[in-house]
Structure 1
Amino acid sequence: MPGELPALTPRDTEIAILLRGRSFVDRIGSGQRQRTHGRRGTVWVCPAGIEEEYINISDPMVDCLHIFLPARPFEETMLRDLDVDPARLELRYDVIAQDPFIDHVAGRVLQEMENPSAAGRLLVETLGVALAAHLVHRYAAGTIRPHDSADKPLDRRRLERVEEFIAAHLSDDFAVSDLAAVACMSVAHFTRSFRAATGRTPYDYVSGCRLDQARRRLLTEDTQIAEIAAAAGFSSQANFTRAFRKALGVTPAQLRASVRTRTPAGP
């Protein structure tokens, strides 16, 4: 809604991305006054703890996504991943005209909100860590030195421990932080090292495992499709069917029907 908003000091870092339409935003924070003609892709960043003394929106925002990142991911990214003291590095109170990576993250978040997947929690957590690292690299009031070994693949023993954990908890609701703990690594470091070792993100890997398990159950059990969908982590049978067809080219019902068609009738 247009108009003047009350002053606030966010506990979390707020990233607002304008998805559709145009709007003029006048705001004051961190000793700065920023007047922005926002359009699709404009990003407003307000770091945690920075008081926004004044915010006025002159035109209604048709569609705006707000992403909130707690302080901890930034500290973890800086301390463990980038070897930087967070006390000496701060994000800027900033307006970003366009940023393809932030736009990509916003698109994935919206897609997950509209069509929840089997491992949505892992996806959102992975995106949050990646976004935190991106903001630190691109929009920090200082310079950082990248960690030389951040992208080394997981060693075989750690990878096996993580794969065993996933297999044992495939029907459970776990997070990337749980997998990182199994590997004894930070979330950000683990995410990149896991991808370097497997070619997939934790989200893609777990989603693939859950869909594969669902496929096997469809072929070998008479369990209701809705029950299999729930066990695979989907919020609805419709979302399960959509993801299954996208991954395998057929719906769960079509796969089951094709097997029954090929099975010879009894005497």
Structure 2
Amino acid sequence: MTSAIRQTPLDTAIRHHAHDFHQIVIGLSGRADFEIEGLGGSISALSGCIVPANHLHYYVGTGDNRQLILDLPHDALSLTGHHHELARLFDAPRFFDLDDPLARYLDFVLQELRLLGGQGALSPLHQERLAGTLLGSLHARLAEAPAGGGRPLDLAALDRFIDRHLAGGLRVADLAAEACLSEAHFTERFRAQTGLSPWRYVMRRRLEAAHRLIRESHLPLSEVAALTGFTNQSALSRAFRRDYGHPPSQLRRLSPQRLHHRPSTA
């Protein structure tokens, strides 16, 4: 598979899937909502999201929406060789906004699509070139900034913020704003202090809350999922099985002593 650039609207009914290639989705018009392995957010014109390979994601378009979608296999020219560091963009899902230079480059890409006869008319090599420039520019803007000095992050305050908003669509940008830092600086400081990306930390906290509710209440699993920020029971079960090694339903059948109570930090 080679990289592919295409324009398409998203279905206005909720869909979900996972695929073995990375994806970048950039809004052109209208709005679309995504949840990528528990990380929720919305995109509209000049904003987008990064979907790493093999990450289950739910998505839905609103009204007359249109997106530019880049499909990027692991061995894409823009992610290998001299460009291998760009693969770090896909370490975790995230949402982003385009600044003015990137907005102008997006317009150039769209003009290339129109000039060469419409969607799908670009040669594979030309699509790789266009994708590589976009990825390089995104990486330059989203790459982690040097950690520098400063006092440690107040993790207790961040935990309280996360817990208050656990049922909603928390974004890394929300945590960064709570800490009064830029998203890049916050991400680097957070990883240095905790050993985890902010996204992975929030996911672990969601699972810990779900684990506690399953053990200590008789709430249906669908309600546990809603209270802890998962789209539905299936999304909760997938994440639970990945981190605990068993489905959430098993937690109510086995004694607590036989189960791990803390998800992995991988």
Q: TM-score, normalised by structure 1?
A: 0.49
Q: TM-score, normalised by structure 2?
A: 0.50
Task: Flag the structure with larger Rg.
Answer: 1
